[in-house]
Chains A and B, each alone.
Chain A
Amino acid sequence: MAKKSDRAARTSSLATGWTVEGDADGADRIAGEPEPRPAPLPEPEAADAPQQLSNSMTIVLGIFGGLYLAYLWIWFSWAKYMVTVTAAQLSLTTGTVGAVLQTVLYWLAPLAPALWMIAALRANRGGRGRGLMIWLIVGAIVLVPLPFLLGGAASSAAADAAAVSWGAL
């Protein structure tokens, strides 16, 4: 038969009338019983824990990343072209500050795919892949370089006319 643990409350054998306080955990524990394990640390929140991308999501991100990079390069070439064509007229028609701001806007256009990708990744961090996919698909449609797809030479001629006319206005 098991006996009580020594750490249970007991009457002192040294001082009559005194009681030795027992271990709170061990008061009701039976001798020989294994000590209780400490309470496990709380699990970190799922949102805070770094999540590893699945293989399929990695492939999808690679495909969209390459597509967006192509968009960036195409728009960069068009922005460079427009800045070159309209640089002389901008300061005359819109003033110095207006010319600087318009040039900033021109150079901001090719950055749009990169900004869209970053915003999509930041907004869907810790979220499901479906939201990120929707963001990336919408971006791939909105940011598509139509002047490039509709024929570079024709668009170039149109760009010449547009640059002159819009700049003159």
Chain B
Amino acid sequence: MIRRLVPWVIGVILILMYAFALVRPIGDLTGLPQLGEQLGLSISPVGWAWLVGAVAAPVLICLGCLWFPRARTAEVRLWILAAGLGTVALLQLEMELLAPLSTFFA
């Protein structure tokens, strides 16, 4: 029973971390245009690409990590899910390092 429960618990924790990784990009997607309006600026096309990409990346990577190894064992699926979460965290850190706020506004 516990041996079957542990993978599920780890999987749920990983999925919740994916959900948390989605919170801030959604906040930026909704908040930055409002901030731009207050400053009299608009979001540049590159900025929109960054904002939409930041929201899409965790969703697509999570779905891919759930769908791609669906025929594998639970252990392999968890490793792939963890690797996907690490990739999401890495891409977000990369975005923070590469895209300062000035690149979002036209």
> A115 and B86: CB pair below 8 A?
yes
Taking CB atoms and an 8 Å cut-off, the chain B residues in 15-65 that contact chain A are 17, 20-21, 23-24, 27-28, 31-32, 35
Other-chain contact of B79, A75, A82, A98, A115 (Cβ < 8 Å): A115
Q: Note all chain B residues with C-beta closer than 8 A to A105.
A: 17, 20-21, 89, 92
Complex Cα distance, B97 from A82, in Å, reads 9
Instruction: Give the residues in chain B near A64, CB-CB below 8 Å.
Output: none
State A161–B27 Cα separation when bound (angstroms): 19
A104 part of interface (Cβ distance < 8 Å): yes
> Residue A79 at the B interface, CB < 8 A?
yes
B66 sits at the interface (CB 8 A): no
Do A162 and B100 form a contact, CB below 8 Å, given A118-B79, A119-B82, A169-B35?
Answer: yes
Tally of contact residues, A, Cβ under 8 A: 38
> Secondary structure at chain A's binding surface: helix, strand, loop or mixed?
helix
The answer to the question of A165 belonging to the interface, with a C-beta cut-off of 8 Å to chain B, is: yes
Give every chain A residue within 8 A of B28 (Cβ-Cβ).
166, 169
**When chains A and B are docked, how far (Å) is the Cα of A112 from the Cα of B89?**
8
CB–CB B89/A106 < 8 A: yes
Asked if residues A147 and B94 are in contact (CB atoms below 8 Å), the reply is: yes
**B31, B97, B100 — most chain A CB neighbours (10 Å):** B97
The digit string for A84-113, where 1 denotes a CB below 8 A from any CB of B, is: 000000000010001001101110111111
A109, B92: Cβ atoms closer than 8 Å: yes
Q: Which of A104-139 contact B (CB under 8 A)?
A: 104-106, 108-113, 115-116, 118-119, 122-123
- A residues sitting closer than 8 Å to B (CB atoms) are 75, 78-79, 82, 94, 98, 101-102, 104-106, 108-113, 115-116, 118-119, 122-123, 142-143, 145-147, 150, 155, 158-159, 161-163, 165-166, 169
Residue numbers of B with Cβ under 8 A of A are: 17, 20-21, 23-24, 27-28, 31-32, 35, 69, 72, 75-76, 79-80, 82-83, 85-87, 89-90, 92-94, 96-102
- Subset of 17 A-B contacts with CB under 8 Å: A82-B96, A94-B24, A105-B89, A108-B85, A109-B86, A112-B86, A112-B87, A112-B89, A112-B90, A115-B79, A118-B79, A145-B94, A146-B98, A161-B100, A161-B101, A162-B96, A169-B27
For the complex of A and B, the 8 pairs showing the least CB-CB separation, nearest first, are A112-B86, A165-B101, A119-B83, A161-B100, A115-B83, A108-B89, A147-B97, A119-B79
